[in-house]
Amino acid sequence: MKRKKWTAGIMAGVMIACTLAGCGQKKQEEIPPAAAGTPKTEETTEADATMEAEEGVISGKLTINLWDNEYAGQAAIEAFQKAYPDVEVTLNLTPFLDYQSKLFTSLAGGETMDVFFMRENETYQTYIEKGLCMPLDDMIENNQFDMSVYENYADQIQYKGKTYSMPYRTGGYHLYYNKDLFDAAGVPYPDGSYTWDEFRDVAKQLTSGDGADKVHGLYMMGWPWMQLFQAMQEGVSIVDDDYTIDLDCDAVRRSLAWYYGTCVEDGSQITPAEATATNASITPLFVAGKTAMILAGDYMAGNLKNNMKDGNIAFEWGMTHVPCNEGVEYSTQSIVTKACINAKAQNPELAFLFLSFLSGEEGQNAVAAAGSKPALVTDEIKKTFKDNIEVYSDEQIDLYFENVKVFTEPLNLAAPYASTILTEEFSLYMTQNGQDLETTINNCVTRLQEEIDQLDLE
């Protein structure tokens, strides 16, 4: 029998849970270790104070909160349950749009949950400051979980030098396009070299029809980070880590004017207000052939796989780089999705066992098999993705996993305020005869500065 070792810190806690649960003494044949995707290789000795996992069944109760359409997360949870069948997992699913607000209310109200996934990364540091996330450093060290494979995400999972989450999935945005609509318009397929103005021009050529027959040339979700995509490629941070506001600049003006032009002047994409009023979602619009081009993240792989499997896609599609202006280093928006342990978790050791599984090779393989881009990338995981996603060519898979420069939305304490303020002010600008550009930027700067002045930054 293959025997796997478990460090004493977590094993002791799990064995306590075992006792409380009244579990039997049968042996579990295979217990995946709490090692990272690339485990540490030091020889384990008796001095390391380890225990054989086979000495007792790992069991207990674990409550996990997640949003309803996060299928990769659900796949990883199912894989964990297969690996640890004696752990009783309660999965609470909340609708996507309601998840973050309900999560905060639940945590602040002391609801018992052990693990929760973060959907809105701009609120991450706020959750930490509110004391809702458990620091993981001691458990990481005690269990020799190798975090070096995730060093590129350190700034997204750490706060003030401490780690409060484990990376789960990531993925940059790409340009997806409907080949049939390009063929009908006599327009060459995108080759990854579009500037933003070229992207806009092509979108106008691909826009046709009226009313129910309207086909838009492009769709970028109406979040402020998407409206500022072009500016962020040029290095705009929105709010620096020293809480200096970075909005009153030409790059922001160009980016907002470009987005306004596509929505209001060209009519080549729906406005954010229209998207909200009609509950427009990027995948249904693309699958229905109602938009020729979209900018979408890692989730699109699994969405396309499922829709093609169900026979919902009646056209050929392609994938390439997002637009980028000449003289600007190519980059795309990307952020790591993460999982945290509730500061009031009833079983933190078992919760960390789940997090270590989630961010280890087995959990990351489950994420890849579900069609999302895992935070850990190995040849085996890429093969898992390719074997399961099926709808991507080898070239597209290489593009999907390529190592390029990425940028993120703000992740500091001002981020939630920036998200709210920019959403409100941009919506007033992105309409016919709406608020002018300079007023929009000035209002954003003034309102955001007022919120920053109220923050406790000591």
pLDDT tens by residue, 351-362: 999 999 999 999
pLDDT band at 56 (very low <50, low <70, confident <90, very high): low
Beta bridge partners of 99: none
Mean pLDDT across 180-197: 98
Place 13 in a pLDDT band, splitting at 50, 70 and 90.
Answer: very low
| pLDDT (tens digit per residue) in 289-335 | 999 999 998 888 888 888 888 999 999 999 999 999 999 999 999 88
Q: 72-97 pLDDT, tens per residue?
A: 999 999 999 999 999 999 999 999 87
What is each CA distance from 72 to 300, 324, 372, in whole angstroms? 12, 30, 6
Q: Do domains 61-171+336-376 and 174-333+410-453 have the same CATH topology?
A: yes
Q: How confident is the model at residue 456 (pLDDT cuts 50, 70, 90)?
A: confident
238-291 pLDDT tens trace: 999 899 999 999 999 999 999 999 999 999 999 998 988 888 889 999 999 999
Give per-residue burial for 159-189: e unless 16+ CB within 10 Å, then b: beeebbbbbbbbbbbbbbbbeebbeeeebee
Q: Say if residue 99 is exposed, middle or buried (CB neighbours under 10 Å; 0-12, 13-18, 19+).
A: buried
Which two structure tokens, joined as six digits, stand for 62? 């674990």
CA atoms within 13 A on the CB side of 251: 16
What fold, for 174-333+410-453? D-Maltodextrin-Binding Protein; domain 2 (3.40.190)
Place of tokens 């290489």: 398
pLDDT attached to residue 409: 87
Boundaries of every domain in the chain: 61-171+336-376, 174-333+410-453
Task: Render pLDDT for 137-157 as a digit per residue (tens, 0 to 9).
Answer: 999 999 999 999 898 888 889
pLDDT at 303: 85
Model confidence at 37: pLDDT above 50: no
Predicted TM-score of the model (pTM): 0.77
In this prediction, residue 193 carries a pLDDT of: 96
Per-chain mean pLDDT for the chain: 86
Dihedral over Cα of 90, 76, 120, 284: its sign: negative
- 396-432 residue pLDDT tens: 888 888 888 888 888 888 999 999 999 999 999 999 9
Mean pLDDT, residues 20-27 taken together: 32
Q: How many CA atoms lie within 13 A of 344 on its CB side?
A: 12
**Number of residues that this document lists for the chain:** 458
Q: Which two tokens stand for residue 451?
A: 């919120």
- Say if residues 261 and 217 touch (Cβ distance below 8 Å): no
Is the pLDDT at 106 greater than 80? The verdict is yes
**Tokens representing residue 458 in the block:** 């000591």
pLDDT in tens, 167-185: 999 888 999 999 999 999 9
List CB contacts of 235: < 8 A, sequence separation 6 or more: 251
pLDDT attached to residue 298: 81
One of 3.40.190.10, 3.20.20.20, 3.30.470.20, 3.40.50.150 is the CATH number of 61-171+336-376, namely: 3.40.190.10
Query: Could you tell me where the beta strands, DSSP code E, fall in 266-365?
Result: 291-296, 317-320, 331-333, 337-341
Strand, helix or coil for residue 131: coil
68/100 Cα distance (integer angstroms): 12
Residue-wise pLDDT for 199-230, tens only, equals 999 999 999 999 989 999 999 988 899 999 99
Cα(193)–Cα(286) distance, integer angstroms: 22
Torsion of CA 323, 326, 330, 333, to 10 degrees: -40
